[in-house]
Every structure is written in C-alpha cells, then in structure tokens.
A and B are shown apart, each in its own frame.
Chain A
Amino acid sequence: MFKKEGPQNVKNMETIIGESVILEGEFNGHGNIVIEGKLTGNLSTDGHVLIGERAEITANIKAGSAFISGKVVGNITLSDSIDIAKTANIQGDIKANSIAVESGCQINGRISIGSKIPEAPKKILKQEILKERGE
C-alpha cells in the first residue's frame, strides 16, 4: 500500500538537504537522508532516502529504501522498498524488493521488483552466430 511519507516527516532524519542547497559529487551518507534541493552526482546510504517534491536529482541512488516525490534522473537501486508519489518524475531504472506507486507519477525506465533484476538481452554478434554454425 502507498505510504504518505511526505517531506514534512523529517523526524529521525540524519541528513537534510534543504531547498536552497545545491550538492555536487559523491554523497555517501549514513542513516536516513532527506533531499529537497538539487543533487548532481551519486547518492548512497544504508538508510532511507526521502526525495521531496521540489527536489531535482541527477544521480544514481543506492539506499535501503526510498520515498520519491520529486524529479530523479538516474538509476535507483534499493535493498528494500520504494514508494513513488504522484508528483514524482523518474527517468531511470528502478530495482527494489517491493514497490508502491501512486497514480499520476511519471516513470521512464525498467522496473525490477524482487531479489534479482533480469539482465538485459545480450547482443549477439553476427560473427558469433556464424561461428556456432561452423561457417
């Protein structure tokens, strides 16, 4: 079921990136992180990530779980769950153990739910086919 964990719920958040903040680079946090500003680069944490409605993220995200209500351009890889709000705009692949999606959100990418993400179809070269046939 979709959880309404909006950006106002910032109790127990160890890192908070406010609206007026622009962060660039490799951000390796610990614990729970709220982002309401802009982030470019990569984001990783072992805890929960909350992407606020006004946030603009151009980064790959690796975390325990996430709530997304802003814009994300990049792949999202989570060991646990993802909740996607109707205001979210995700341009990238999502891998998580479970997903809850609110009607109205935009997702452009592959979604893999469960313990294993399926591998992309392997490109087979013409030479390999000819080799297999012994030609």
Chain B
Amino acid sequence: MYLYIYDSCLKDKKYENLLTKIEARIIDLDMRGEVLKMNLLKNISQFLKDGIKKGAHTVIVIGDDKTFSTVLESAMLENIVMGYIPIDKKSKFSQIFGIPYGDLACTIIGGGIVEKIDIGKINNKFFLGSVVVENSHNTELKIDNFKIRVGRGNKIIIKNIDFEEENLNTSNPTDGLFEIFVEKVGGFMSKNSKHTLIKTNDILVTSKDSSVPLVFDGVQTINTPAQISIAKEKLNIIVGSNRKF
C-alpha cells in the first residue's frame, strides 16, 4: 500500500489539471493508497505510523522540494521508502533523483528502483542537500583533530548533495561523506575560482559570540552549536534511470 502526502498548495486552482492527471495515472498503475492533505494541524508522523500498521511500504510526496524536506524527517524516523512526484518543473531534488515532472513521475514510481542514499543529520533534524553557514567568520568548524576558521566575506557550505546546476555530479550521496566548500559571498563557483573542499563525515559548528543560524536544505534553520553527521545509506528513495548518482 502507498501513502500519499499532498502539498497544501495543491488546493490552488492552477494545479487542478495536473492533480487530475496524476491521480488518473495512479489509478491506471494500480498504485492507490491513503492520502494526507497537508496543513498545519495534520501530523505527518502519525499518518505514517498508522499507514505502516495497515501495511504501507512507501510514502509518496506530491509537492515541491520544500514539502519533500518537511516529510523527509518523519519518513527517516519511520524507516519507510520515499517517492516523489514533483509539481515544480525547476525541482532540484527531481533532477538528482531522475524523476520527471507531474504525472510522468508515476511511471518511475511504479517502476520502483529503490536506492539507499546518505542523509545529513544536524542536531536532531535531517537534511538531504546542504547546510549553509552565512556568518562564517564568526564560526569555527571542528573536524577530527583540527579546527577551521574562515575570513570575512565567505560562506561555508556543507554538502551532502550538490544542487548547483553545474555541479550536479560533484557530490555523491552514497559515499558517506560531506563536501565542505568555502565560497566568496557574491562570487560564482567555477572551475578556476578559489574554493575550499574538505571531505568528512562529522563536524561540530560553534560560534564565538552569539548563536549563528545555519540554514539546511534552503528552508529550515538551526542555531549554533550544531553537530552535523552523516547517516550512511539511511534513506530508501525511488529513483529514475536518469538519476545523478
């Protein structure tokens, strides 16, 4: 049995046609299941727990990357396979996973190629893509037996998966490692630009004075101090043959 989590934005009229096509395709492929339409009052974890008790094996998110990130944490805790039907043509997760937009994604989901990928953990939260430290000059990264500090005008990016268009192939979500980059603020990453790259699987981020916000997956924030570690091959995700890893 499948569990479906619908993004709250799908109530919008502009998604009506797309949602009808997706639902029709789900019926064609005999992938019916229970639906949760997201809103502030709905508890995703409870929905997954109840679904698993009834025999559910896969949760499918119909929405954008932000919705996927929101569901990720609960799916990790319940150890359920995740699928994704993107409703945003520019979805970066869909590019990484090789999942096409809209109803075309249903065929891939039905195909059921499941890959195990690494997930980042920041304190007690999970992330798929990256953690960005904006005020990097106020922070210190402790890795193994050494510490890293950076000068003003730089930002530190800790990546599990790299979503930059030109770097989609540079980070591997199955290698058990993060890539740490230091970039000039306002600059562009290019082959010739000066950047810092260190690979590791465990980082403690602290700050000198007040707490510094760390933004993970571009949508959620946590303050220092933060322990960032990798959960190797912890997420089971349905992917397409065009995946980037």
Contact = CB atoms under 8 A, between A and B. Distances in A.
Interface of A: 8, 13-28, 36-37, 41
Given A17-B198, A36-B194, A22 B145 contact: no
Given A22-B149, A22-B150, A17 B196 contact: yes
Interface in B101-137: none
A20 B154 contact: yes
16 contacts: A16-B195, A18-B196, A19-B194, A20-B182, A21-B149, A21-B151, A21-B196, A22-B149, A22-B151, A23-B146, A23-B147, A25-B147, A26-B145, A26-B146, A27-B145, A37-B196
The interface residues of chain A, by DSSP majority, are classed as strand
B149 to A, nearest CB: 5
Nearest to B196: A18
Given A20-B151, A24-B146, A28-B144, A15 B194 contact: no
Contacts of A8: 192
A82 to B, nearest CB: 23
Given A21-B196, A24-B146, 10 more contacts: A8-B192, A15-B197, A16-B197, A18-B194, A21-B148, A21-B151, A22-B149, A26-B144, A26-B145, A27-B145
Q: Which 9 A-B pairs have the closest CB atoms?
A: A25-B146, A26-B145, A18-B196, A20-B151, A16-B197, A22-B149, A24-B147, A18-B194, A27-B146
Interface string B141-173: 000111111110110000000000000000000
B148 A23 contact: yes
A50 to B, nearest CB: 13
B148 A22 contact: yes
Nearest to A20: B151
Contacts of A15: 197-199
Given A26-B145, A28-B145, A36-B194, A20 B199 contact: no
Nearest to B146: A25
Among B145, B153, B154, the most chain A Cβ lie within 10 Å of the Cβ of B145
A18 B195 CA distance: 5
Contact of A21 (B144, B182, B199): B182
Nearest to A29: B198
Contacts of A41: 146
A16 B196 contact: yes
Nearest to A16: B197
Nearest to B145: A26
Contacts of B197: 13-16
Contacts of B195: 16, 18
Nearest to B193: A18
B150 A21 contact: yes
Contacts of B148: 21-23
A62 B198 CA distance: 18
Contacts of A25: 144-147
A47 to B, nearest CB: 13
A59 B133 CA distance: 28
A79 B218 CA distance: 45
Contacts of B149: 21-22, 24
A13 B145 CA distance: 21
Contacts of B150: 20-22
Among A14, A17, A23, A36, the most chain B Cβ lie within 10 Å of the Cβ of A23
